[in-house]
Amino acid sequence: MGVLRNILNSRSDKGGNFFSILYKILGFKPKNILHYRKAFTHRSLNIKDEKGNAVSFERLEFLGDAMLSAVIASHLFKAVPGGNEGYLTKMRSKVVSRKHLNELGKDLNLIDHVQTNIPKDQFGSNIHGNLFEALIGAIYLDRGYKYCKRFIYERVIDPYVDIEQLEGQVISYKSLFIEWCQKEKREFDFEVYEDTGNDEIKHFAVKLRLDDKVVAKARATSKKKAEEKTAKRAYYALQNKIT
């Protein structure tokens, strides 16, 4: 453990800056700063512990995801006593959506503190949410459930979890469209077709057919994003029918 500690400490800011940064982000003093250094260590550094296990924020991300989900689930269970399992699951998904976690990570400027051999401008947007989850995992290991829960309430639940707003929030227009089609017994198909754009970055083009009629088209940098964008356009075009 001493070797690993020395490696991680050698990449830290001098003069206790990392400790000060953590205190500002967390709102409390960390006990074991090594957990937090791991939470900001990218696998591109190729650091291994004494047993040869890779050291990066990914394992902490897994733990933080579980803790965040548990605290949010507990809050919703108490806040909406009449909500059934399906309702509570959907509401939790809205709170911990990838888009929302990325926004939380951006708000805290977590990417500024990640240690990596990859230029930070080459990371996708999900790095922000991944670091946020890893930070929660580090808090749990360092201070336990009580501090972890307090951080989630201060950073997520108190400022952002409004039951009425969440009920009206759409996580995935594609899922909403598919649910409507299944309910109404309508035929649909997301069709990827040739993109003739001249963009430097490859784009995917998608047509959405409803009962053999094209109701929306869109293009994006991934098939998933193109389908979601297409479904969103279809949703607004058919908003009077889709409820």
What are the pLDDT digits (tens) for 22-66? Answer: 999 999 999 999 999 999 999 999 999 888 999 999 999 999 999
113 shares its domain with 74: yes
Instruction: Clarify whether residues 203 and 96 are in a common domain.
Output: no
> What does the pLDDT average to over 119-139?
95
Q: Which range of residues forms the domain containing residue 140?
A: 2-167
The amino acid at 225: K
Residue 146 has pLDDT above 90, yes or no: yes
106 shares its domain with 206: no
Contact between 16 and 32 (Cβ < 8 Å): no
Which residues belong to the active site? 65, 133
Same domain, 159 and 191: no
Query: Among 132, 167, 202, where does a domain finish?
Result: 167
pLDDT attached to residue 101 = 95
The whole-chain average pLDDT of the chain stands at 88
Q: How many structural domains comprise the chain?
A: 2
Q: Is the pLDDT of residue 15 over 60?
A: no
- Claim to verify: residue 116 and residue 161 sit in the same structural domain: yes
List the CATH number of the domain containing 219: 3.30.160.20
Q: Does residue 97 sit in the same domain as residue 137? A: yes
* Cα 66 from Cα 62, distance rounded (Å): 7
* Residue whose C-alpha is closest to residue 101's, from 58, 50, 137, 65: 65
Domain boundary among 167, 197, 225: 167
Binding-site sequence positions for Mg(2+): 61, 130, 133
- For residues 33 and 111, membership in a common domain is answered with yes
Between 181 and 176, residue with greater pLDDT: 181
Domain membership of residue 78 (yes or no) is: yes
243 within some domain: no
Range among 44-53, 83-92, 105-114, 223-232 rated most confident: 105-114
The answer to whether position 9 is within a domain reads yes
Q: Sign of the C-alpha dihedral, residues 67, 108, 95, 180?
A: negative
Q: 91 lies in a domain?
A: yes
End-of-domain residue from the set 121, 148, 167: 167
Is 242 a domain residue? no
Same domain as 161, residue 43: yes
pLDDT at 9: 57
Is pLDDT above 70 for 2?
A: no
Binding site, by residue number, is 61, 130, 133
Q: pTM for the whole thing?
A: 0.71
What confidence tens digit (pLDDT) does each residue in 191-234 have?
A: 988 776 666 677 889 999 999 899 999 998 888 888 989 988 98
